[in-house]
């Protein structure tokens, strides 16, 4: 016990700017699920300087921490394309368009949810702005380097920029119903997007005019227009909270009009109804395994959504959007075998390579391949089995979760004046109402308005 | 705002009318299930046949003869008793964010006379979605304040509540909690203590009245449905189901229960592992869950909720598992599967969603295992029913051969290969 | 007590007006010279002049040294063998800044684009406009050793410009040392409108900064040749940020937690402004980063309670909620966390970080005790003094007039009975701008043992010297409830206390003073020791000390 505390606390002290974030590890004799190159029995994986150096039999390396994975399953670290963990702020709900804000400004490396996600084999998550606004804030792809307390240290450097869009009930409820301003309908929603893109275009033109000597001054700096312009330039991937087929179709048409290609629909419960259109556009889908019926716009859903989308050629992933589900995405992925009969590899792709593609990081993570980053999850029992138990989770060659070193109180920071850790009653429905992280900060905002 | 709700309500009515046509009718037939691996729960696992007659299990044995009845070949397949979820809002809530479709929570602190059976919607879209995963029976319960109402065990087949009622009811109570209700609950420690004292006083006041009523009402009295609903509990005819989760609250609840002569069942009990010995000592049965939930404290081990059922069981507590869900009660076998993996073991986890809840609800003579004479609630599947990929192939509820259809499968059938596809 | 208290308060509230004629209600001072003789002078950090003297004239130090001639026209302070320090400088606080009234927030149709003042973006406002020169804050800051306070307006994200003022107790214009010193910033949101979140605040800050850069370019070009150019029209907020972008003005940015420190440092690194991390409560996880960023840190002294003090509670918590193992682990971690907090300032010293102390959130009331704790945990006394004198002086650009007790500087001096952070050291005199303030040294009280609750029931005398009120105070106990009755010595009127609470050896209660239809709520806090008490009486008009001692029952 004491050891663990000392270890954690010593990590705490070694943090700082130059904290070590890449390690060397040799994983021996596991059943290696590569995702891109089949399943290899009795195979070793060598990670050096945080990168996968070799995959093969009877590898050896000196001065390297070795993990005996005999009888275990070794898979790529799981990637969650939709979460709100490790964030102090989720929603800046004051405006239907808040492209200017960036949840990466509010990262919380202390969040114990990161550790719990690691204990479910998840090494990367997409920390997203909430769904209060038609255009929410920019999001951040984070690596679960739990133990580091510098917010900078959990960013996945070099990952493409992403932004949250949202359709349907949430933005309509917050702005139309809550504040009496547009959008109150899905028709209004469309115009919000067109308007914002037009603003971005006008701003870009003003910048060009200045550069070409046609104007005396550049336009007054405007963060929102800068971001909208970057979306138009294709520098930012859109991740759009959506449910109904009609609204998904609407956004596809708007994006087509503005020449924006990179779009991943999130939740997209009725994506299955427009799967051919999504596939034709090259749009991606990141879905719940089985959430439905908690609000009207998800009443006509099916747990077969992921399977239908995948079969229709849409790059599909399973996400959590929840501090609970993120702990067992391997199980959520397995549900596509019950609902749609996906093969093991197809199912596991939904939580590894496919979310990596959706986040634009597939050349770095998402499979066990030479040269990719050393993000690995080791399981007892096959990860798609209900009896799977994550054993060790590695990020960049550093063990961030080890079931044998797990103990009480894995928090990184405690308040010395705290009496005992607070007990929270579970809410009956964790995926909506006050407990909905997707709508976090919104109720506070609305309460101030009334 | 109101307008939107009305539109939704109208839309719901319309959809309900359509629903009856969406899922095919079940058929009531006598049938022989041949050559299966029969997991009886109470009498081990038998390789053999199972005969359903008149809605009950007529026979289990080897080489049973069909005698002209229809026969289903189950070679290489398994038969399990239908799973029982010890706590849900199934049928009471259709779409939880649309308040007018939420019938689980009546206004008022003392509403034990609110009958779940009154508001359970036999045509809820969630019911077929649930049963096709092998969950045939659930306890559907009101939620809310101190005494939210009276819940009922129902089978997930039938067109009226009476057709669904499985013969057991329980009065619900939320034991006053000293925990926080969520991140948004910013009450001071003092306020929490004060609120708790206030709630305990309320509980005592109501309980005292109910006791008086139960004594003087022997010869008839004034119409008082609120207190009358408590009489079965006070007479020991119906159990009192007490929702309690935090360690100190559980200990207080045990102390409170010991002062009454009632049949108590604890539900939730997320910190049961901390007080498992006390629960065992006072022989209080527990319906715990969901197993798939985040730990209650930031300092808890990541797997406390996975391992809680197993820990309580090991200490000698009678443990059943629930989802506490509405539209996703279908995840009951997965909740049990996680409990099995994290210490409970497969056999015990199976009991926790079959015979144990049947015993707790007092219906073990008819439910919870595959035995001759019991209600024919069972399913045939191609593997371990906890395993996520396992497929259920036949489903019987009260002997009705229920088609494995639900909105989810129907949408799959329609949209897997949409026609027309991309073209106009 | 009742009527007099009210009368005195009403008088105190009346503005002091000078008509340029002789006012014999004011005492004309005998001399502007003060001579401190045979004192131990800690003239600057790390330097001591044993048994020297200081001559103060017209509010300034004119001579410091060993063998000074005693002038015959000076006030000679009998300060034999006392210790003299330069008075402290508060690196930032809201001392004397009026509180905003809690009015209804104006309704905004589009909460995404509120007016700047509703959004809390008022970087152009001056703290000076909000100063209440009569505020009791300045009196208590002086009593604690501060001669100069640096104050920021209250508000949200960008409340405005700071000001440096003296605690000399003079009129508003006389106490002002410097206006528009720095810009004050916080990660504080504006409820219901943008920025309603911390990420909104950071976005808005960046945007304003970049807009100010653009505005500056525009203005510079326009002022040199306006022909054919659009006239610059920028908001007050944008204009007020221009000095920050040109590094003509520092930003004192409040960052309470280590997380906030990271965020504010990232902002500084991105934009490049001159940053002073302010009111930092948790700095231990970021010492190295702060060090390498070369940013000064103003610590908020809000130390956690020592963990041992709650042993009984812990046992109860364990019994009720956690396991023994968990409690043990938690206890170890709490002890460690406590050590981190009390040791973090020493870590800053060791790392060579420039640090001082600010008092935005924490109040300096317990400063002496807290400094002792920090010193016990590795902080050098020298660094502590620096953090309270030369560091803020240098940051605020007032090193030429304050921060040390050297010739030519303002006569802002602390005269204490022992080295200032020694236990039981008491301030005997304060000199601020040459004005002498004398404090009564209370006799040492019999100390009760730690944690032992004393019986506070009994009859006491009380005195509120500021109001000229005195009388008797009777504390009695019935079962678990206390009863407190105050009797005025003058008119014998009785007042019974309400809302009595006792916490350890402290007691607080409320009084309702009524007179001629005029009523006033007064809250009283008392700290009891064996035979007497001291504390404060708080009213809407200000606070006053109260003390008393037990009447011998015999």
CA C335 distance to own-chain centroid = 28
**Distance between CA atoms of residues A346 and A344, nearest Å:** 6
Q: What integer pLDDT is reported at residue A11 of this predicted model?
A: 42
CA distance B268 to A424: 13
C-alpha–C-alpha distance, residues A119 and A391, integer Å: 8
Under a CB-based contact definition with an 8 Å cutoff, are residues B299 and A408 in contact? yes
- Report yes or no: C61 and C54 within 8 Å, Cβ to Cβ: yes
Inter-chain residue contact C320 with B299, CB threshold 8 Å: no
Strand extents, DSSP E, C220-272 = 250-254
Q: Which residues of B346-379 are buried (b: 16+ CB within 10 A; e: fewer)?
A: bebbbbbbbbbbbbbbbbbebbbbbbeebbbbbb
* B interface test, pick of C316, C317, C320 with most B CB neighbours within 10 Å: C320
Cα–Cα dist B47/B44, whole Å: 10
Percent of chain A with pLDDT over 70: 92
Q: With 60 as the cut, is the pLDDT of residue A101 above it?
A: yes
Angle at C249 between CA C247 and CA C250, to 5 degrees: 95
**Mean pLDDT estimate for chain A:** 92
Structure confidence at residue B5 (pLDDT): 52
What's the rounded Cα separation, in Å, for the pair A33 and B418?
A: 33
Q: The domain C31-87+403-441 belongs to what CATH superfamily?
A: Urease, subunit C, domain 1 (2.30.40.10)
Whether residue A175 is predicted with pLDDT greater than 90 in this model: the reply is: yes
pLDDT of residue C21: 63
Q: Which CATH superfamily is domain C88-98+114-221+233-397 in?
A: Metal-dependent hydrolases (3.20.20.140)
The DSSP output letter for A175 is I
Q: What separation in angstroms does the CA of B81 have from each of A160, B258, C253? A: 51, 34, 65
Averaged pLDDT of chain C: 88
Question: With contact defined as beta carbons under 8 Å apart, do A163 and A237 qualify?
Answer: yes
Fold of the domain built from segment(s) A78-365+428-449? TIM Barrel (3.20.20)
- How many residues in total does chain A contain? 450
Closest CA relative to residue A402, chosen from A107, A146, A64, A153: A146
pLDDT value for C459: 87
Chain centroid, CA B148 distance in Å: 16
In which band, very low, low, confident or very high, does the pLDDT at C231 lie, cut at 50, 70 and 90? very high
Asked whether residue C271 carries a pLDDT value surpassing 90, the answer given is: yes
Asked whether the predicted pLDDT for residue A7 surpasses 50, the reply is no
CA dihedral (C330, C336, C342, C344) in degrees, to 10, reads: -130
Q: Which residue of C has its CA nearest to A153?
A: C262
* pLDDT (mean) for C294-321: 79
Per-domain boundaries in chain A: 78-365+428-449
Cβ pairs A/C, distance under 8 A: 160
Q: What is the pLDDT of residue A437?
A: 66
pLDDT at C124: 96
All structural domains of chain C with their residue ranges: 31-87+403-441, 88-98+114-221+233-397, 453-550
Which of the other chains make 3 or more beta carbon contacts under 8 angstroms with chain B? A, C
Residues in chain B where the model's pLDDT stays below 70: 1-22, 217-221, 424
The predicted model gives A63-89 an average pLDDT of 97
**Residue B383, SS3 per DSSP:** coil
Report how far apart, in Å, the C-alpha atoms of A290 and of each of A302, A319, C402 are.
Answer: 7, 11, 69
The per-residue pLDDT for B424 is: 65
For chain B, say whether A88 makes contact (Cβ under 8 Å).
no
Residues of B in contact with C323 (CB under 8 A): 274
Do B299 and C326 lie within an 8 Å CB cutoff? yes
Is residue A171 within 8 Å of A235, Cβ to Cβ?
A: no
Contact A148, A21 (CB under 8 A): yes
Q: Helices C367-376 & C324-351, crossing angle to 10 degrees?
A: 90
Q: Which of B172, B191, B159 is nearest to B105 (CA)?
A: B172
* C336/A contact by beta carbon, under 8 A: yes
Q: What is the CA radius of gyration of chain A?
A: 22
What are A26's strand-pairing partners? A46, A66
Residue A385 near residue B340, CB atoms below 8 Å: no
Residue A401, beta-bridge partner list? A393
Does the CB of B394 have a partner CB in chain A at under 8 Å?
no
C-alpha to C-alpha distance for C294 and C288, rounded to whole angstroms: 10
Q: What is the mean predicted confidence (pLDDT) over A198-205?
A: 98
* Contact: B97, A119; criterion CB under 8 Å: no
Q: C108 — phi, psi (to 5°)?
A: -120, 125
Pick the residue from chain A with its C-alpha nearest to B98: A295
pLDDT at A431 > cutoff 60: no
C327 touches chain B (CB under 8 A): no
Tell if the CB–CB gap between C198 and A96 is shorter than 8 Å.
no
Interchain pair A95, C111: CB under 8 A:
yes
A203 SS3 class: helix
User: C-chain residues within 8 Å CB-CB of A152?
Assistant: 262, 266
Choose the mutation target among B388, B405, B422 for the interface with A, i.e. most A CBs under 10 Å: B388
Compute CA A194 distance to the chain's CA centroid, rounded to the nearest angstrom. 26
Task: Find out whether C447 and C529 touch, Cβ atoms under 8 Å.
Answer: yes
Residue C554, chain A, CB below 8 Å: the answer is no
* C38 Rama class: left (phi>0) / alpha (psi -120 to 50) / beta: left
The span from the CA of C108 to the CA of B177, in Å, is: 40
pLDDT at C450: 52
Given a cut of 50, whether residue A145 has pLDDT beyond it is yes
Q: How many CB atoms lie within 10 A of CB B273?
A: 24
Give the pLDDT band (50/70/90) at residue A436.
low
Q: What is the mean pLDDT of residues C531-539?
A: 83
Nearest-angstrom CA–CA distance, A205 and A207: 5
Q: Which residues are CB-neighbours of A208 under 8 A, at least 6 positions away? A: none
How far B249 CA lies from chain C's nearest CA (Å)?
9
Comparing A212-226, C17-31, C119-133, C520-534, the range with the smallest average pLDDT is C17-31
Full set of structural domains in chain B with CATH: 20-82+370-424 (2.30.40.10), 89-367 (3.20.20.140)
Q: Which residue has the tokens 């935005």?
A: C360
Closest-CA residue of B relative to A442 is B184
B13 C-beta neighbours (distance < 10 Å), count? 9
Rounded to 10°, the helix B247-259/C311-320 angle is: 60
C234: its two tokens: 């920028």
Q: Does domain C453-550 have CATH number 2.40.128.20?
A: yes
What b/e string do you get for B151-185 counting C-beta neighbours within 10 Å, with b at 16 or more?
bbbbbbbbeebeebbbebbbbbbbbbbbbbeeeee
Mean pLDDT (whole number) for C413-430: 94
Q: Residues 197..226 of B with a Cβ closer than 8 Å to A: which? A: none
Place of tokens 């809302």: C499
């Amino acid at each position: 016990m004491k050891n663990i505390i000392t270890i954690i606390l010593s990590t705490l002290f070694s943090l700082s700017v130059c904290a070590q974030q890449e390690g060397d590890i040799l994983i021996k004799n596991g059943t290696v699920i590569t995702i891109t190159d089949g399943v290899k029995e009795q195979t070793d994986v060598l990670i050096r300087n945080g990168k996968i150096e070799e995959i093969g039999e009877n590898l050896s390396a000196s001065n390297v921490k070795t993990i005996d994975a005999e009888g275990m399953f070794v898979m790529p670290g799981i990637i969650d394309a939709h979460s709100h963990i490790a964030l102090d702020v989720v929603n800046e709900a004051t405006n239907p368009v808040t492209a200017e804000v960036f949840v990466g400004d509010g990262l919380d490396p202390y969040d114990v949810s990161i550790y719990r996600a690691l204990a479910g084999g998840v090494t990367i998550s997409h920390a997203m702005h909430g769904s209060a606004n038609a255009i929410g804030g920019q999001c951040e792809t984070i690596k679960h380097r739990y133990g580091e307390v510098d917010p900078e240290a959990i960013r996945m450097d070099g990952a493409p920029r992403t932004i949250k869009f949202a359709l349907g009930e949430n933005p309509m409820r917050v702005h139309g119903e809550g504040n009496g301003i547009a959008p109150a309908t899905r028709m209004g929603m469309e115009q919000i997007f067109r308007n914002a893109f037009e603003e971005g275009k006008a701003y870009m033109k003003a910048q060009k005019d200045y550069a070409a000597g046609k104007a005396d001054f550049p336009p007054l700096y405007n963060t929102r227009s800068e971001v909208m312009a970057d979306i138009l330039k294709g520098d930012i991937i859109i991740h759009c909270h959506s449910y109904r087929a009609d609204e998904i179709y609407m956004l596809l048409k708007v994006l087509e009009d503005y020449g924006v290609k990179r779009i991943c629909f999130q939740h997209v419960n009725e994506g299955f109804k427009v799967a051919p259109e999504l596939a034709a556009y090259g749009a991606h889908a990141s879905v719940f395994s089985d959430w439905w019926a908690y609000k009207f716009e998800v009443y006509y859903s099916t747990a077969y959504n992921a399977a239908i989308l995948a079969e229709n050629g849409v790059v599909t992933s399973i996400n959590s959007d929840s501090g609970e589900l993120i702990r067992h995405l391997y199980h959520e992925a397995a549900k596509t075998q019950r609902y749609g009969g996906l093969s093991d590899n197809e199912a596991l792709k939904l939580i590894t390579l496919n979310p990596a593609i959706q986040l634009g990081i597939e050349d770095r993570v998402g499979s066990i391949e030479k040269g990719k980053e050393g993000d690995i999850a080791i399981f007892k029992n096959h990860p798609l089995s209900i009896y799977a138990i994550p054993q060790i989770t590695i990020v960049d060659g550093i063990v961030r979760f080890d079931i044998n070193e797990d103990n009480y109180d894995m928090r990184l920071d405690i308040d010395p004046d705290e009496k005992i850790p607070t007990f929270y009653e579970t809410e009956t429905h964790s995926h909506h109402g006050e407990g909905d992280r997707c709508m976090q900060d919104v109720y506070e905002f609305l309460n101030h308005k009334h | 705002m109101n307008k939107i709700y009305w539109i939704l309500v109208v839309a719901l009515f319309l959809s309900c009318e359509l629903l009856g046509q969406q899922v095919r009718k079940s058929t009531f037939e006598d049938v022989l299930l041949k050559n299966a691996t029969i997991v009886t729960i109470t009498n081990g696992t038998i390789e053999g046949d199972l005969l359903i007659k008149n809605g009950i299990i007529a026979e289990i044995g080897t080489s049973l003869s069909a005698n002209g009845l229809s026969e289903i070949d189950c070679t290489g397949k398994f038969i399990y008793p239908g799973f029982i979820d010890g706590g849900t809002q199934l049928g009471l809530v259709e779409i939880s964010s649309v308040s007018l479709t939420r019938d689980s929570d009546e206004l008022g602190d003392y509403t034990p006379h609110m009958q779940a059976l009154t508001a359970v919607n036999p045509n809820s879209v969630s019911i077929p979605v649930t049963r096709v995963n092998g969950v045939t029976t659930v306890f559907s319960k009101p939620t809310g304040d101190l005494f939210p109402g009276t819940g009922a065990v129902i089978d997930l087949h039938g067109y009226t509540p009476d057709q669904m009622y499985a013969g057991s009811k329980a009065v619900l109570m939320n034991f006053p909690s000293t925990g926080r209700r969520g991140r948004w609950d910013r009450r001071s420690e003092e306020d929490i203590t004060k609120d708790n004292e206030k709630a305990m006083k309320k509980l005592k006041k109501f309980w005292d009245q109910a006791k008086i009523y139960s004594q003087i009402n022997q010869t008839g009295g004034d119409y008082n449905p609120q207190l009358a609903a408590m009489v079965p509990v006070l007479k020991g005819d119906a159990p009192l189901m007490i929702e309690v989760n935090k360690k100190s609250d559980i200990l207080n609840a045990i102390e409170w229960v010991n002062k009454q002569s009632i049949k108590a069942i604890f539900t939730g009990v997320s910190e049961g592992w901390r007080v498992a010995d006390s629960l065992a000592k006072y022989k209080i049965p527990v319906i715990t869950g969901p197993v798939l939930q985040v730990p209650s404290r930031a300092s808890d081990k990541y797997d406390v909720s996975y391992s809680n059922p197993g820990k309580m069981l090991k200490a000698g507590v009678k443990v059943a598992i629930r989802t506490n869900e509405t539209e996703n009660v279908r995840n009951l076998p997965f909740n049990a599967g996680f409990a099995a993996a994290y210490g409970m073991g497969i056999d015990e986890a199976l009991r926790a969603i079959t015979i144990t809840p049947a015993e707790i609800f007092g219906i073990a003579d008819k439910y919870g295992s595959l035995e001759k004479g019991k209600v024919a609630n069972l399913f045939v599947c191609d593997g371990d029913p906890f395993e996520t990929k396992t497929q259920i192939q036949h489903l019987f509820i009260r002997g009705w051969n229920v088609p494995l259809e639900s909105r989810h499968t129907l949408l799959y059938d329609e949209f897997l290969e949409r026609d027309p596809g991309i073209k106009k | 007590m009742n009527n007099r208290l009210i009368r005195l308060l009403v008088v105190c509230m009346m503005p002091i007006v000078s008509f340029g004629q002789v006012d014999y209600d004011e005492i004309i001072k005998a001399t502007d010279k003060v001579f401190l003789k045979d004192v131990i002078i800690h003239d600057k950090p790390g330097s001591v002049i044993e048994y020297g003297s200081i001559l103060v004239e017209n509010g300034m130090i004119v001579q410091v040294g060993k063998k000074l001639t005693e002038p015959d026209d000076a006030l000679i302070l009998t300060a034999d063998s006392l210790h003299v320090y330069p008075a402290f400088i508060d690196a930032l606080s809201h001392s004397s800044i009026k509180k905003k009234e809690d009015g209804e927030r104006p309704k905004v149709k589009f909460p995404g684009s509120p007016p700047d003042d509703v959004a809390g973006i008022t970087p152009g406002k001056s703290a000076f406009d909000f100063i209440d020169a009569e505020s009791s804050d300045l009196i208590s800051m002086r009593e604690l050793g501060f001669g100069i306070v640096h104050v920021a307006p209250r508000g949200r994200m960008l409340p405005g410009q700071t000001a440096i003022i003296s605690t000399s107790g003079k009129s508003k214009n006389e106490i002002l040392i410097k206006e528009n010193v720095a810009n004050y910033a916080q990660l504080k949101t504006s409820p219901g409108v943008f920025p309603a979140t911390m990420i909104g605040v950071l976005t808005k800050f960046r945007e304003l900064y970049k807009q100010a850069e653009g505005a500056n370019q525009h203005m510079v070009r326009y002022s040199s040749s306006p022909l054919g150019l659009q006239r610059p029209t920028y908001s007050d907020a944008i204009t007020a940020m221009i000095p920050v972008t040109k590094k003509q003005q520092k930003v004192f940015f409040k960052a309470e937690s280590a997380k906030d420190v990271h965020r504010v440092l990232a902002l500084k690194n991105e934009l490049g402004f001159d940053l002073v991390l302010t009111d930092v409560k948790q700095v231990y996880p970021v010492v190295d980063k702060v060090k390498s960023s070369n940013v000064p840190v103003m610590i908020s002294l809000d130390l956690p309670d020592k963990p041992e003090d709650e042993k009984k509670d812990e046992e109860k918590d364990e019994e009720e909620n956690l396991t023994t193992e968990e409690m043990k682990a938690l206890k170890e971690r709490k002890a460690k966390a406590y050590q981190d907090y009390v040791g973090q300032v020493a870590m800053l010293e060791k790392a060579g970080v420039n640090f001082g102390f600010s008092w935005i959130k924490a109040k300096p009331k317990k400063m002496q005790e807290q400094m002792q704790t920090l010193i016990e945990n590795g902080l050098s006394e020298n660094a502590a003094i620096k953090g309270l004198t030369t560091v803020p002086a240098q940051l605020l650009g007032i090193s030429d007039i304050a921060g040390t007790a050297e010739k030519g500087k303002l006569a802002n001096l602390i005269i204490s009975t022992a080295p200032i952070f020694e236990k039981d050291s008491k301030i005997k005199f304060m000199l601020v701008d040459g004005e002498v303030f004398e404090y009564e040294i209370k006799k040492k009280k019999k100390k009760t043992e730690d944690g032992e609750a004393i019986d506070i029931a009994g009859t006491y005398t009380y005195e509120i010297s500021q109001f000229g009120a005195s009388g008797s105070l009777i504390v009695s106990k019935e079962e678990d409830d206390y009863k407190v009755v105050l009797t005025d010595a003058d008119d014998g009127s009785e007042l019974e206390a309400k809302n009595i609470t006792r916490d350890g050896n402290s007691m607080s209660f409320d009084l309702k003073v009524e007179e001629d239809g005029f009523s006033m709520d007064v809250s009283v806090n008392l700290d009891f020791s064996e035979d007497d008490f001291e504390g404060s009486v708080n009213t809407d008009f200000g606070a006053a000390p109260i003390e008393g001692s037990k009447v011998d029952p015999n």
